[in-house]
């Protein structure tokens, strides 16, 4: 057979055309599916018909039964037996109510009257003493009677729950309110054995079992009791808006609360059933918004009773996964109203805090016998879920301010207020295991019969860590400030946390004398006293009482001087590598995601609290009195955080605890800034994390730019750690990274077509020597970022003629240095000098009133940016407070000592003042002189009418420091910053601290190393290193004054400062070129020397040196040349 026809078959009788076997099978399969679909469609149609027929018939029967039931009810219950009531009254009622109302989830008006009549008659019947007529007596009858009674009463309880659920207290009719009240009374009567009047000793056991079964059913999810009670409570108004004593709604509320608590009070209910009721309570009632505020005050003690709270705590601990899953399902199906913006976990958390705390006699405390261990653990469970909900809300841009959600006069944040109180923390800490804290006895305890026996400090730390996070996400105004204020100033709390952390992070050194540890030895290597050198004593007797109090708070004693001396002797044998290794904290070598949960919470709480305390801790307390930690402990803290932040960023893989990292970075940066201002840590500490594993310079620069180069906020990625914690790189390497940034920027500009040739798109500038600032401002200020392009400068001399020479870079460098010299001079009026000995520059506030003053400041920012961009050093340094603004950092109180030491001294004196501050007659104002006039400036709204008192003196001190350090120079700082960042990216500046920025700008000391220059000099034109004139030159240069050497360097390179990293980085290389000078023989014999002056080519950093024969001549000619303020004209 032909190969193509091998798999063909013939469909005889249908067609002569042949098809393949696979096609035939597909066709048969399709036909089979069509027939199967048709059968299913027909079956579905029949099913729908049966459903509708059944619904129609059932409804018709229910309506007929309702009419017959009304006629039966008209005869009354009085003479009827209990069996007749069950068969004729209860059974049809349950049937038609179930089909006409329950399944429709809406009670009809006609059914309201029927339900009211049935409940009223049943309530009258179950109070009868005659067991033959009492409906409840069926519960003690035969097995069949007990089964029927149990079924019918469960249906009645479900119906009563439904009535309560659909009851809306704000819009319900009087009939619905009546039937709701009757429904709750009926459930109470059915589940209370005291209401069963027919009970005798013979049937008490059966009756007790029947009540127990009903109570168990009521506590189950099937009954719907707790769901109905929760929904009802959520409709209640504030108690102040209702009149409970004259309103049936109070009776309904009291009955609902009674039913909610009945399963807890039924002592015959076993533990499993009790857990079921507690789970329903926690699922439907505990998360009701404003639960405690909606319940009348008379009923709250019942909700707060330990028989209710304790089972709920235990249930949440055992079944929290199931409860939280229920919360998630309900959260997903709820409406997006304002009150629902808080998840159910959030409401449960706030309600528990309100339930376990009570206010009496203007004093708030925990309720009696509350189990604080369970309380802390339950709050931790709910807070963790609440945080997840808040993060999801933030991701969906639906997060709102917790201050906006109110109930009457209350805000949601008010519900969490107890956790911001010191008594709350003291109660928890006072009962923590004694071994967890050395200061437990020193903490103030509270009254009441609370206990936290066996509680762990880690649980308390987790509790407050969650609170800090929740407050930060909910309160956009003040964030976690209320919690941090309380934690920071609670006696001994920080020391407790650090003691536990120290045992976890430094396990080998947590016991015994700290002097034996390697870290302690390294930290004591300070024979010159650099690290522990005490700052100047700013205050005298006024601070003694304050410091004594702080020492008592922190329970700290002064370090033993004998111990320090002993350690210092031992450390002398340590080498540099040993010192760096000693700061390598091994437990912190992993990313924060790999740290245990307990350690993570301890770290977050400690970092957040201590960073907050550092804001108000002045240098006297930090360095002299060493509170709350000794300097040795400060070094340990710094080394721990340094390792944690570095390794977390380097090995993050996108899995970082944002709150932990933000707190750790903030605390680390504040310690580093304080160390930069007054050193207490050895440099090896800051370099320790990255001494081996840090990325190369070029790779680090590329990683940073590849991340988010313009995002200079606190980030947590590999590419951002060099600007978040740049101190892990030595300063020299950071300078190279900075230059790498600029190099990459130039490459990108070249690729964009901005640098298409050596002379294209250059900026031509003609300036007069006597008007260099004005001419530069007029021609360059409007260029913005285009100032990155090269500048070609032509000078006009004092006589009005153009100076000789072409600008190949030298004149432009001279132009930038000269314009900076004139504009930054205090005589020019744009900048002034601080009153400190360093005489650092800071913007003159009077510049605001000058013509174009703000624009001139902005222009000077561009000049500084251009200098940094081109690697040109200037002769000026700025004040630390001003540089902090340029680096995007806030200046705090202690920065004031670098700006105005006298004012700082007075503020510190005021901070520790023992007397009545009101006697000083201070208010929240500051007086400034401007243009010969005095101006009174308020430090806060209404400041002139606000006196400084003991209560607000801290606010005054920090308001004054904030004004001097931040607000006063803010407009000028912003202007300078705008100009600077036109050329230098803000993220590049974050590589440096304030002093390093000045060093980057000015190069440090006003002198240079002659040997370094000599080792990096080349010779041309016939000179060699051994030439006579060359030897004379180095001899003369070594003998010049530092100022004269700097003038020579400027004469040759147009900059008076040496390159920041040494002369090997000077481009082009420093060159001495031979200028041959013919001189008659008789002149040489007569002792005459070359008369020609030396000249320079600043474009090529070349000194053109004639062949002098004598050192005196060379020195005289050289000094004349460098002091003539001219360049090419000398040639």
Kindly list the catalytic residues: 1099
Enumerate residues 6+ apart whose C-beta is below 8 A from 1095.
1075, 1104, 1121, 1127, 1128, 1130, 1131
Q: Which helix (H) or strand (E) holds 813?
A: helix 810-823
Torsion of CA 1050, 1052, 1058, 1064, to 10 degrees: 170
- Residue 446, sorted as left (phi over 0), alpha (psi -120 to 50) or beta, turns out to be beta
Contact in structure between 824 and 844 (CB atoms under 8 Å): no
Contact in structure between 312 and 278 (CB atoms under 8 Å): yes
Contact in structure between 838 and 882 (CB atoms under 8 Å): no
Helix H, strand E, coil C: the string for 472-535 is: HHHCCCCCCHHHHHHHHCCCCHHHHHHHHHHHHHCHHHCCCCHHHCHHHHHHCCCCCCCCCCCC
CA dist list (Å): 351 to 309, 354, 425, 1055: 11, 5, 18, 70
Question: In the structure encoding, which two tokens stand for residue 1081, read together?
Answer: 């023989």
Question: In the structure encoding, which two tokens stand for residue 192, read together?
Answer: 């209370």
Helix (H, G, I), strand (E, B) or coil at 192: coil
Enumerate residues 6+ apart whose C-beta is below 8 A from 934.
927, 928
Burial environment of residue 58 by CB neighbours within 10 A (0 to 12, 13 to 18, 19 or more)? middle
Rounded CA separation 297/254 (Å): 11
Helix (H, G, I), strand (E, B) or coil at 100: helix
Rounded CA separation 555/904 (Å): 28
Angle at 195 (CA atoms; ends 191, 197), nearest 5 degrees: 130
Question: In the structure encoding, which two tokens stand for residue 178, read together?
Answer: 């009546």
Rounded CA separation 25/465 (Å): 68
Question: Hunting for tokens 């309110």 — which residue is that?
Answer: 177
- Residue 479, sorted as left (phi over 0), alpha (psi -120 to 50) or beta, turns out to be left
Enumerate residues 6+ apart whose C-beta is below 8 A from 1034.
1010, 1014
Nearest to 896 by CA among 912, 908, 913: 908
- Mode of pairing for the β-strands spanning 1017-1020 and 925-930: unpaired
Rounded CA separation 707/871 (Å): 25
Rounded CA separation 77/700 (Å): 91
Rounded CA separation 604/621 (Å): 24
Rounded CA separation 302/266 (Å): 14
Contact in structure between 668 and 641 (CB atoms under 8 Å): yes
Rounded CA separation 531/655 (Å): 37
Torsion of CA 318, 323, 328, 330, to 10 degrees: 180
Question: In the structure encoding, which two tokens stand for residue 1078, read together?
Answer: 């013919």
CA dist list (Å): 708 to 412, 591, 696: 37, 21, 19
Enumerate residues 6+ apart whose C-beta is below 8 A from 356.
304, 309, 366, 367, 370, 375
Side-chain half-sphere CA neighbours of 275 within 13 A: 12
């Amino acid at each position: 057979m032909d190969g193509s026809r091998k798999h063909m078959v013939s469909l005889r009788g249908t067609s002569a055309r042949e098809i393949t076997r696979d096609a035939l099978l597909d066709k048969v399969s399709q036909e089979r599916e069509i027939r199967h679909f048709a059968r299913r469609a027909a079956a579905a149609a029949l099913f729908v018909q049966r459903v509708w027929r059944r619904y129609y018939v059932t409804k018709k029967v229910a309506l007929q039964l309702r009419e017959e039931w009304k006629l039966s009810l008209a005869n009354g219950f009085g003479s009827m037996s209990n069996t007749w009531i069950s068969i004729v009254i209860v059974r049809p009622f349950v049937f038609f109510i179930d089909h006409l109302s329950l399944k429709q989830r809406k009670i009809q008006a006609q059914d309201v009257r029927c339900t009211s009549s049935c409940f009223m008659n049943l309530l009258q019947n179950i109070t009868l003493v005659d067991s033959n007529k009492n409906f409840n007596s069926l519960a003690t009858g035969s097995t069949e009677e007990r089964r029927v009674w149990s079924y019918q009463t469960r249906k009645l309880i479900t119906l009563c729950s439904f009535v309560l659920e659909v009851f809306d207290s704000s819009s319900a009719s009087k009939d619905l309110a009546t039937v709701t009240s009757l429904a709750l009374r009926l459930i109470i009567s059915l589940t209370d054995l005291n209401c069963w009047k027919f009970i005798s000793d013979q049937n008490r056991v059966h009756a007790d079992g029947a009540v127990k079964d009903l109570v168990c059913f009521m506590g189950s999810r099937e009954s719907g009791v707790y769901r109905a009670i929760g929904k009802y409570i959520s409709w209640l108004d504030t108690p102040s808006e209702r009149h409970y004593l004259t309103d049936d709604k109070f009776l309904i509320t009291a009955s609902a609360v009674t039913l909610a608590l009945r399963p807890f009070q039924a002592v015959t209910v076993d533990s499993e059933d009790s857990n079921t009721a507690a789970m329903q309570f926690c699922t439907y009632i505990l998360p009701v918004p404003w639960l405690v505020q909606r319940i009348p005050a008379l009923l709250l003690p019942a909700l707060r009773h330990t028989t209710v709270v304790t089972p709920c705590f235990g249930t949440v601990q055992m079944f929290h996964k199931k409860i939280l899953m229920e919360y998630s399902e309900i959260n997903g199906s709820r409406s997006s109203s304002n009150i629902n913006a808080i998840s159910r976990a959030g409401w449960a958390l706030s309600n528990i805090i309100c339930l376990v705390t009570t206010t009496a006699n203007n004093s708030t405390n925990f309720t009696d016998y509350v189990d604080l261990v369970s309380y802390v653990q339950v709050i931790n469970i709910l807070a963790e879920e609440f945080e997840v909900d808040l993060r999801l809300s933030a991701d969906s841009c639906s997060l709102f301010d917790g201050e906006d959600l109110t109930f009457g006069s209350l805000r949601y944040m008010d519900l969490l207020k107890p956790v911001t109180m010191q008594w709350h923390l003291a109660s928890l800490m006072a009962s923590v295991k004694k071994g967890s804290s050395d200061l437990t006895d020193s903490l103030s305890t509270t009254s009441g019969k609370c206990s936290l026996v066996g509680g762990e400090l880690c649980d308390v730390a987790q509790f407050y860590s969650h609170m800090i996070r929740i407050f930060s996400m909910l309160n956009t105004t003040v964030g976690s400030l209320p919690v941090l204020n309380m934690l920071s100033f609670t006696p001994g709390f920080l020391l407790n946390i650090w003691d536990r952390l120290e045992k976890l992070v430094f396990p080998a050194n947590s016991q015994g004398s700290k002097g034996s540890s390697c870290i302690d030895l390294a930290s004591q290597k300070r024979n010159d006293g650099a690290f522990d050198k005490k700052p100047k004593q700013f205050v005298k007797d006024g601070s003694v009482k304050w410091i004594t109090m702080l020492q008592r708070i922190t329970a700290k004693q002064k370090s033993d001087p004998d111990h320090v001396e002993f350690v210092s002797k031992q450390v002398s044998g340590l080498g540099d590598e040993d010192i760096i290794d000693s700061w390598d904290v091994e437990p912190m070598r992993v990313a924060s995601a790999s740290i245990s949960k307990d350690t993570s919470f301890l770290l977050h709480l400690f970092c957040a609290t201590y960073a907050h305390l550092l804001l108000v801790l002045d240098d006297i307390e930090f360095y002299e009195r060493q509170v709350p930690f000794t300097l040795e402990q400060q070094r340990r803290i710094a080394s721990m955080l340094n390792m944690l932040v570095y390794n977390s960023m380097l090995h993050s893989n996108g899995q970082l605890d944002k709150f932990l990292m933000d707190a750790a970075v903030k605390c680390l940066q504040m310690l580093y800034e304080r160390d930069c201002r007054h050193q207490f840590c050895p440099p090896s500490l800051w370099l320790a994390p990255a001494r081996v594993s840090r990325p190369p310079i070029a790779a680090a620069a590329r990683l940073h730019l590849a991340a988010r180069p313009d995002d200079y906020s606190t980030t947590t990625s590999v590419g951002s750690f060099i600007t978040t914690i740049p101190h892990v790189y030595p300063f020299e390497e950071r300078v190279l990274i900075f230059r790498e940034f600029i190099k990459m920027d130039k490459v990108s500009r070249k690729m964009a077509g901005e640098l298409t040739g050596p002379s294209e798109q250059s900026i031509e500038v003609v300036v007069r020597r006597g008007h260099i600032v004005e001419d530069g401002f007029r021609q360059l200020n409007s260029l913005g970022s285009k100032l990155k392009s090269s500048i070609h400068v032509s000078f006009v001399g004092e006589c009005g003629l153009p100076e000789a020479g072409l600008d190949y870079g030298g004149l432009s460098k001279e132009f930038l240095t000269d314009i900076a010299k004139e504009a930054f001079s205090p005589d020019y009026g744009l900048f002034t000098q601080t009153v400190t000995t360093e005489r650092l520059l800071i913007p003159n506030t009077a510049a605001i009133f000058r013509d174009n003053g703000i624009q001139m400041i902005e222009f000077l920012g561009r000049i500084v940016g251009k200098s940094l961009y081109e690697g040109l050093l200037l002769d000026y340094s700025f004040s630390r407070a001003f540089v902090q603004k340029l680096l995007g950092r806030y200046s705090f109180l202690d920065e004031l000592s670098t700006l105005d030491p006298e004012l700082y001294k007075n503020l510190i004196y005021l901070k520790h003042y023992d007397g009545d501050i009101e006697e000083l007659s201070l208010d929240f104002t500051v007086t400034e002189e401007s243009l010969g006039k005095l101006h009174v400036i308020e430090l806060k709204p209404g400041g002139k009418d606000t006196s400084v008192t003991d209560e607000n003196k801290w606010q005054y001190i920090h308001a004054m420091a904030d004004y001097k350090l931040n607000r006063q120079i803010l407009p000028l700082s912003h202007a300078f910053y705008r100009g600077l960042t036109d050329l230098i990216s803000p993220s590049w500046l974050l590589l440096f601290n304030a002093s390093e920025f000045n060093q980057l700008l000015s190069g440090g000391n006003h002198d240079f190393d002659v040997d370094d220059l000599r080792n990096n000099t080349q010779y041309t034109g016939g000179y060699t290193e051994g030439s006579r004139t060359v030897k004379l030159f180095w001899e003369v240069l070594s003998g010049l004054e530092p100022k004269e050497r700097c003038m020579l360097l400027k004469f040759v390179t147009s900059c008076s400062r040496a390159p920041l990293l040494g002369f090997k980085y000077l481009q082009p290389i420093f060159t001495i070129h031979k200028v041959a000078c013919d001189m008659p023989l008789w002149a040489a014999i007569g002792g005459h020397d070359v008369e020609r002056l030396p000249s320079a080519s600043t474009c090529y950093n070349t000194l053109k040196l004639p062949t002098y024969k004598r050192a005196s001549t060379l020195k005289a000619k050289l000094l004349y040349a460098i002091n003539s303020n001219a360049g090419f004209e000398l040639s």
